[in-house]
């Protein structure tokens, strides 16, 4: 079965359930539909809350839904989800949900939170309390990871001193480690307290639109409701449901006991108000950012900030240690010392500056003491934290917590340090304000929280009262946002008019009336590194940015009360903080240069988070005049201290276009074209030569044929016999003479094996060569047995006999007429090649000669009535062949079986040269080859008077024509060869001339 993870507690539930069986949170959360982002030039448009409902995170919607179910809507509650109207109508309305993605309902969509943020949540419930001592931080950035420390055991019940913020992580971005949220509908204590105090809250928030006026540049419109509710929901604690946060003008009354320790000191008359919603408003808590909610929501185990004070490492582990340390009760510092002593291991893993937070300085009243006592720790502290330890000149109140927690103070950021300064009128909020005013380390938003009704230094008072937690100059425009435009909804309820000036500008615009941010009107002077970056307005004049393109939220009126934080319990350490007169602080506050603060080595990520000084100060000096130019155009319109664009870049409207074409000169292009042609030519076939060859080839062949034909036709037509016959060779060893001699030496009636192994194509030549031999044999009354290893040549012997017969008839010679089966027979076809010849040579009767038609030919009288058992039984073997290989085969295979019987061979002119060595070696008894051999044999026959009337057919028909053809061929070869040589020489000469040229 499929399972689903509870978004609140993180426990696994069956998919079929709608509510978590552990914490009661709704499991089926609708996906968040974030609003369209702002495009440059657009201004935020006020949106209706109903429209923004879908932009809320699922967990927030669920919390709101649960709160609605639990608490009735207040009568006078104003819709808190109505965003303030944008200041100008011409500004394009655009939704902007700055915190839309803060908390993800879908586990898959949830992004991995940065480590520093994760560490702010504290430990997860899965972690054992003291099983995993945090390892020593390897780098400055790992210190936040170490803030988690060992998980503290679950705290079953919240302490009354607890101002409501739980030390345990309530919302954890890590799904696996996400601690279980309180069941839906179960209001945290702090929020409940807050709600209770809301009934007596003096802050009455105006309409949401007033509470969250649209900033001058536009409105953010899309601020999450939870933040807007923070301002509007604290109007009335009783009637404040989860989503009805007290209005921005109504200070939130939170019981001091419900406030976290660090905020107890901030507890003003309205501080309890702040605590109330903190403890009794889980929905509002749910609407708070996690980092704030973590500070307020108690975990089911009841772990809260008080737990670590009394030795509850689990609860303390839920909060970052530095925050946990802040929550330790200030009086006596025992509480702070307790976790310090009880968690030495965790402290050992903490950075020094955090460890110093928990280590009580031995009577170090001044901030300098811990500073001197722990220079290394202070040196490692960020400036804003280091500022926390810097004692204010008149900051006796500040000194109090300093003496008790000098190390902590030394490590506290200014804004936190301000929290510990007790505010005048019992509002601890003021104390840190006064304290921080000297230290100048409280952020504006925290400064606003610590004081209710206290005089908040003007926002333009940047000298001493301005708090710049992220004091970077480029953020000066934020102040402009807070002053000129409406603040984001989420901030609207957090600031009061009093604290507005003390808030960072980016915060002022959010919630100028929230008490939460009215911690301290006076802020310590910024350090050197925190000086605002001055921008050149002139440089930004032509930036091309549209005026008012950046939407701003309406500035929060200063008279608006703060958020529920104002009513929250102020931690004890903050409660001891006394408010400092803002005027005195501002007058007495030294400048940044006179702070005598050693420059802190902030981590890069901290430095990146620091708001630009100019943005915080709002670009205004102490006189309230704009000291820095405000960006009027572009996406940063309304911001101050925007980095100037170098003059050389002002004219750049769009990126420079670079040509993609290859920048080549004329010569390079020419060479490239040439190379390309060469490469292309390689792939193209050359037809010129072939065409020329084919054109010349055919006519030359025709000429050759014509010449040859003429040479043959003329003698044939004319009947001439002018070409002289060849002369018989004189040498007796001449193969021809030996052949003739052999034939002449055969007895009468000799049985010869005549092998006709020539192709029909050579029949014209072979018949002219073998014809006279046949005549000679016929004159000898030889018996002829024809055999052939070629299928087609089996009957060629019959042609020979017929020609010889015709010759004799024509010549009317005295030679008998040969008849088949009487004087000659055919043994047939002998297959097998060399094996067949060898087999015939060994066993001729078993090899061939048995005919289905004629029976056993070997038993005939012609073949001696079966007397021939081997090839040697023949008187001679006459091989007629046109192939030298065939002749060689017969020579090789019959050499051993012949046993001295003559082997004669009549060969074609093409086979004679290769058969000559065999004749020379004596393996052949005689060799006659070519037409000239036939003519020669005819001449011999004539000489012996074999054919007295007719010299021979070969001579008559072929020799003249052959002679003429050979003569023509010879001449053609000579002429052609000479022409070829001349042509080559001429071509070579022309090439040489061209080369020379």
Neighbours of 799 (CB within 10 A): 17
Among 376, 691, 895, 899, binds another protein (CB under 8 A): 895
Buried b (16+ CB within 10 A) or exposed e, 891-907: bebbeebbeebbbbbbb
Closest distance to another protein from the beta carbon of 737 (Å): 12
Please report whether residue 871 would count as binding another protein according to CB under 8 A. Answer: no
What is the distance between the alpha carbons of residues 307 and 937, in angstroms, rounded to a whole number?
138
Closest distance to another protein from the beta carbon of 826 (Å): 10
* Token output for 336: 């702070």
Q: What contacts 538, CB < 8 A, 6 or more positions away?
A: 629
Question: In which residue are the tokens 């080839």 written?
Answer: 697
**Residues listed for the chain:** 997
Among 72, 705, 822, 867, binds another protein (CB under 8 A): 705
* Token output for 86: 């944008």
* Token output for 814: 């005295």
Among 100, 293, 936, 946, binds another protein (CB under 8 A): 936
Q: Name the one range near another protein by CB under 8 A: 21-29, 147-155, 330-338, 956-964.
A: 956-964
What is the sign, positive or negative, of the torsion defined by CA atoms of 281, 287, 288, 293? positive
- Complex with another protein: residue 89 or 691, whichever CB lies closer: 691
Closest distance to another protein from the beta carbon of 715 (Å): 10
Q: Name the one range near another protein by CB under 8 A: 99-107, 130-138, 217-225, 698-706.
A: 698-706
Q: Name the one range near another protein by CB under 8 A: 283-291, 316-324, 519-527, 953-961.
A: 953-961
Closest distance to another protein from the beta carbon of 733 (Å): 9
Residues 841-870 that bind another protein (CB under 8 A): 842-843, 846-848, 850-853
Please report whether residue 938 would count as binding another protein according to CB under 8 A. Answer: no
Among 72, 747, 833, 948, binds another protein (CB under 8 A): 833
- Complex with another protein: residue 70 or 759, whichever CB lies closer: 759
Among 509, 908, 925, 941, binds another protein (CB under 8 A): 908
Q: Name the one range near another protein by CB under 8 A: 155-163, 195-203, 473-481, 976-984.
A: 976-984
DSSP state of 956: I
Closest distance to another protein from the beta carbon of 856 (Å): 10
Among 649, 896, 899, 992, binds another protein (CB under 8 A): 896
Please report whether residue 714 would count as binding another protein according to CB under 8 A. Answer: no
Please report whether residue 817 would count as binding another protein according to CB under 8 A. Answer: no
Strand 855-856 versus strand 850-851 pairing type: antiparallel
Closest distance to another protein from the beta carbon of 883 (Å): 11
What is the distance between the alpha carbons of residues 744 and 767, in angstroms, rounded to a whole number?
20
Among 723, 742, 866, 869, binds another protein (CB under 8 A): 723
Give, in order, the Cα–Cα distances in Å from 682 to each of 679, 685, 930.
Answer: 5, 8, 50
Helix residue spans in 303-374 (DSSP H):
306-309, 313-318, 321-327, 334-342, 344-349, 352-358, 368-373
What is the distance between the alpha carbons of residues 885 and 757, in angstroms, rounded to a whole number?
11
Query: What is the distance between the terminal CA atoms of the chain, rounded to a whole angstrom?
Result: 95
Please report whether residue 983 would count as binding another protein according to CB under 8 A. Answer: yes
Please report whether residue 828 would count as binding another protein according to CB under 8 A. Answer: yes
- Complex with another protein: residue 669 or 986, whichever CB lies closer: 986
- Complex with another protein: residue 11 or 799, whichever CB lies closer: 799
Please report whether residue 700 would count as binding another protein according to CB under 8 A. Answer: yes
Please report whether residue 889 would count as binding another protein according to CB under 8 A. Answer: yes
* Token output for 607: 């430095």
Report DSSP letters for 435-461, one per residue: HHHHHT-S-HHHHHHT-SSPPPPPTT-
Which is nearest to 888 in space by CA: 847, 923, 920, 922? 923
Closest distance to another protein from the beta carbon of 787 (Å): 11
Please report whether residue 963 would count as binding another protein according to CB under 8 A. Answer: yes
Closest distance to another protein from the beta carbon of 866 (Å): 17
Please report whether residue 674 would count as binding another protein according to CB under 8 A. Answer: no
Among 913, 989, 990, 991, binds another protein (CB under 8 A): 913
Residues 763-792 that bind another protein (CB under 8 A): 763-765, 768, 791-792
Buried b (16+ CB within 10 A) or exposed e, 400-423: bbbbbbbbbbbbbbbbbbbbbbbb
Question: In which residue are the tokens 């929230």 written?
Answer: 514
Closest distance to another protein from the beta carbon of 850 (Å): 6
- Complex with another protein: residue 629 or 796, whichever CB lies closer: 796
Among 199, 202, 803, 923, binds another protein (CB under 8 A): 923
Which helix (H) or strand (E) covers residue 783, if one does?
strand 783-788
Residues 214-233 that bind another protein (CB under 8 A): none
Q: Name the one range near another protein by CB under 8 A: 36-44, 560-568, 860-868, 961-969.
A: 961-969
What is the distance between the alpha carbons of residues 33 and 520, in angstroms, rounded to a whole number?
37
Q: Name the one range near another protein by CB under 8 A: 26-34, 552-560, 639-647, 697-705.
A: 697-705
Closest distance to another protein from the beta carbon of 782 (Å): 24
Among 669, 677, 820, 984, binds another protein (CB under 8 A): 984
Neighbours of 743 (CB within 10 A): 25
Question: In which residue are the tokens 């944008």 written?
Answer: 86
What is the sign, positive or negative, of the torsion defined by CA atoms of 851, 856, 858, 859? negative
What is the distance between the alpha carbons of residues 956 and 698, in angstroms, rounded to a whole number?
32
Please report whether residue 901 would count as binding another protein according to CB under 8 A. Answer: no
Among 31, 981, 986, 989, binds another protein (CB under 8 A): 981
Please report whether residue 732 would count as binding another protein according to CB under 8 A. Answer: no
Beta bridge partners of 878: 754, 904
DSSP state of 77: P
Among 652, 809, 973, 992, binds another protein (CB under 8 A): 973
Query: Angle at the Cα of 284 (from 279 to 288), degrees rounded to 5?
Result: 105
Q: Site size for another protein, by CB under 8 A?
A: 102
């Amino acid at each position: 079965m499929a399972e689903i993870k509870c978004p609140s507690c993180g426990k696994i539930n069956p998919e079929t359930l709608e509510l978590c069986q552990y914490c009661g949170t709704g499991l089926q959360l609708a996906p968040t539909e974030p609003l369209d982002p702002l495009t440059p030039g657009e201004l935020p448009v006020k949106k209706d809350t109903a429209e923004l409902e879908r932009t809320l995170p699922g967990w927030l919607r669920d919390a709101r839904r649960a709160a609605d179910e639990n608490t009735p809507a207040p009568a006078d509650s104003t819709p808190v989800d109505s965003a303030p109207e944008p200041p100008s109508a011409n500004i394009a309305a655009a939704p902007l949900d700055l915190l839309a993605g803060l908390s993800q309902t879908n586990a898959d969509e949830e992004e991995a939170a940065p480590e520093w943020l994760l560490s702010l949540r504290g430990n997860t419930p899965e972690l054992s309390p003291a099983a995993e001592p945090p390892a020593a931080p390897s780098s400055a950035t790992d210190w936040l990871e170490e803030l988690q420390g060992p998980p503290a055991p679950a705290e079953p019940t919240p302490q009354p001193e607890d101002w409501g913020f739980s030390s345990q992580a309530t919302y954890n971005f890590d799904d696996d480690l996400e601690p279980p949220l309180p069941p839906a509908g179960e209001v945290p204590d702090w929020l409940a307290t807050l709600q209770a105090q809301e009934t007596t809250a003096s802050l009455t928030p105006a309409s949401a639109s007033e509470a969250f006026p649209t900033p001058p540049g536009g409105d953010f419109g899309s601020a999450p409701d939870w933040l807007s509710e923070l301002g509007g929901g604290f109007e009335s604690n009783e009637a404040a449901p989860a989503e009805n946060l007290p209005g921005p003008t109504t200070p939130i009354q939170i019981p001091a006991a419900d406030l976290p320790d660090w905020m107890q000191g901030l507890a003003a008359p309205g501080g309890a108000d702040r605590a109330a919603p903190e403890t009794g408003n889980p929905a509002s808590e749910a609407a708070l950012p996690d980092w704030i909610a973590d500070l307020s929501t108690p975990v089911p185990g009841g772990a809260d900030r008080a737990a670590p004070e009394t030795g509850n490492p689990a609860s303390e582990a839920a909060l970052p240690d530095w925050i946990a340390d802040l929550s330790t009760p200030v009086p006596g510092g025992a509480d702070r010392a307790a976790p310090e002593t009880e968690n030495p291991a965790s402290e050992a893993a903490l950075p020094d500056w955090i460890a110093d937070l928990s280590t009580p300085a031995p009577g170090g009243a001044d901030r300098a003491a811990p500073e001197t006592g722990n220079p290394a720790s202070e040196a490692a502290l960020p400036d804003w934290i280091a500022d926390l330890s810097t004692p204010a000149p008149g900051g006796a109140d500040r000194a109090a917590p300093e003496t008790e927690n000098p190390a902590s103070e030394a490590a506290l950021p200014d804004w936190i340090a301000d929290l510990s300064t007790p505010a005048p009128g019992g509002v601890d909020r003021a104390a840190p304000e006064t304290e921080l005013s000297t230290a100048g380390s409280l952020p504006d938003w925290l400064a606003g929280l610590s004081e209710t009704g206290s005089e908040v230094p003007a926002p333009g008072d940047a000298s001493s009262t301005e708090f710049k937690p992220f004091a970077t100059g480029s953020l000066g425009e934020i102040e402009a946002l807070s002053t000129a435009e409406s603040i984001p909804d989420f901030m609207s309820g957090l600031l009061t008019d009093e604290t507005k000036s003390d808030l960072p500008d980016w915060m002022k615009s959010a919630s100028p009336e929230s008490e939460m941010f009215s911690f301290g009107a006076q802020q310590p002077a910024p350090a050197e590194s925190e000086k605002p970056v001055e921008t050149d307005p002139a440089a930004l004049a032509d930036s091309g940015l549209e005026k008012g393109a950046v939407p701003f939220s309406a500035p929060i009126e200063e008279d608006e009360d703060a958020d529920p934080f104002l009513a929250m319990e102020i931690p004890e350490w903050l409660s001891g903080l006394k408010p400092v007169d803002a005027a005195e602080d501002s007058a007495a506050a030294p400048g940044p240069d006179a702070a005598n603060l050693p420059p802190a080595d902030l981590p890069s990520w901290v430095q990146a988070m620091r708001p630009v000084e100019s943005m915080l100060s709002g670009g205004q000096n102490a006189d309230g005049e704009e000291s820095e130019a405000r960006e009027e155009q572009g996406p940063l319109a309304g911001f101050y201290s925007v980095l100037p664009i170098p003059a050389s870049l002002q004219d750049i409207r769009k990126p420079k276009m670079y040509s993609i074409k290859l920048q080549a000169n004329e010569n390079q292009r020419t060479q490239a074209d040439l190379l390309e042609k060469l490469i292309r030519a390689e792939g193209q076939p050359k037809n010129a030569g072939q065409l020329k060859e084919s054109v010349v080839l055919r006519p030359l062949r025709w000429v050759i044929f014509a010449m040859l034909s003429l040479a043959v036709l003329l003698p044939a037509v004319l009947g001439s016999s002018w070409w002289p016959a060849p002369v018989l060779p004189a040498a007796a060893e001449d193969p021809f003479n030996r052949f003739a001699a052999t034939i002449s030496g055969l007895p009468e009636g000799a049985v010869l094996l005549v092998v006709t192994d020539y192709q029909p194509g050579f029949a014209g030549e072979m018949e002219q060569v073998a014809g006279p031999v046949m005549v000679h044999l016929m004159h000898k009354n030889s018996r002829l047995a024809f055999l052939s290893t070629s299928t087609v040549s089996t009957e060629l012997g019959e042609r020979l006999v017929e020609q010889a017969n015709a010759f004799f008839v024509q010549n009317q010679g005295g030679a008998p007429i040969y008849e088949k089966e009487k004087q000659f027979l055919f043994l047939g076809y002998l297959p097998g090649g060399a094996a067949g010849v060898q087999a015939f040579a060994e066993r001729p009767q078993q090899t061939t000669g048995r005919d289905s038609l004629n029976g056993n030919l070997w038993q005939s009288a012609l073949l001696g009535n079966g007397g021939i058992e081997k090839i040697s039984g023949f008187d001679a073997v006459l091989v007629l062949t046109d192939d030298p290989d065939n002749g060689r085969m017969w020579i090789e295979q019959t050499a051993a079986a012949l046993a001295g019987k003559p082997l004669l061979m009549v060969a074609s002119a093409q086979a004679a040269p290769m058969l000559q060595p065999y004749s020379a070696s004596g393996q052949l008894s005689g060799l006659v080859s070519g037409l000239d051999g036939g003519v020669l044999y005819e001449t011999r026959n004539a000489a012996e008077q074999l054919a007295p009337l007719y010299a021979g057919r070969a001579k008559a028909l072929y020799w003249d024509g052959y002679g003429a053809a050979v003569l023509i061929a010879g001449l053609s070869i000579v002429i052609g060869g000479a022409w070829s040589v001349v042509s080559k020489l001429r071509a070579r000469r022309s090439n040489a001339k061209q080369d020379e040229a």
